[in-house]
Amino acid sequence: MSQYFKIGKLAASHGLKGDLVLQHSLGKKTSLKGLETIFLEENKEGFLPYFIQTAKIKSEDEVYIKLEGIDSKETARPLTPKEVWIREADFKKFAASSSPISLLGYTIINEEEPIGEVIEVIEQPHQLLCTIIYKGKEALIPIHAEVLDKLDKQHKKIYVSLPDGLLEIYQ
């Protein structure tokens, strides 16, 4: 099974013909040209595919998107504010390498010990929060200048020195 990456959410419907506004965190202006399918999470175990008919740039981090079978404001409204996911291969194609979302799939290493793979990136004003699964539980790891030791893009590793006690709250 291919891996999926969350790129944003369907923020609103637009117009009367079922167009939607996709807010994304891909780190660059894009029309998503060539992307055929997005996935919306229906429950924790599964995604439903939606096929893209058209997509048009709205702003740096928003795209107007028209999905197959969604042809009115009424059919578009239940899809907001659902999170949008795309396949790993598409993610690599559309995400800017300098954007925070490009850290998805990286392994966080705290003092030479791997603690988990980044499954979500939450951007905040002065730091990033990376969600990992640590000892079976979701854990939020802050990434900012004081804890970041090294970023190894070639091997997809983030080296950090976390404050004492941070990981203990997730045990």
d(CA 122, CA 117): 14
The residue extents of the domains of the chain are: 4-95, 105-170
d(CA 21, CA 29): 14
Does domain 4-95 sit in CATH 2.40.30.60? yes
Question: Which tens digits make up the pLDDT trace of 112-134?
Answer: 889 989 888 888 878 888 888 88
Topology given in CATH for the domain delimited by 105-170: SH3 type barrels. (2.30.30)
Q: Is the fold of 4-95 the same as that of 105-170?
A: no
Question: Which tens digits make up the pLDDT trace of 19-65?
Answer: 898 888 877 777 788 888 888 877 667 788 889 888 888 888 888 99
CB atoms within 10 A of CB 156: 15
